[in-house]
Amino acid sequence: SETKNSSGMGENLLRRSRTDRSIAGVCGGLANYFGTDSTILRIVMLCLIIFGGMSLWVYIVMWLLIPEE
């Protein structure tokens, strides 16, 4: 979601989505942050996890570290 900082400029904060979620809102939040479709991001993350480019632990760590909206 976008918030206003002290200069009035909007800044995009990385937050887990409450509305666009399948498991924990990580992909929905990342998609919102990068301005992309969450379905595409979910497919990319799933492929990275299955084919060894990213560990499931990385997803779990993001789940724990990225605050919720």
Q: What is the pTM of this model?
A: 0.76
In angstroms, the Cα distances linking 37 to 14, 20, 28, 33, 34 are: 15, 10, 8, 10, 9
Query: Of 43, 42, 3, 37, which is closest to residue 26 (Cα–Cα)?
Result: 42
pLDDT band at residue 61 under the 50/70/90 scheme: very high
- Residue 6 pLDDT > 60: no
Residues 6+ apart with CB under 8 A from 25: 16, 17, 18, 68, 69
pLDDT single digits (tens) 10-58:
678 899 999 988 889 999 999 999 999 999 999 998 998 899 878 888 8
Q: What is the pLDDT of residues 36-45, one digit of tens each?
A: 999 999 999 8
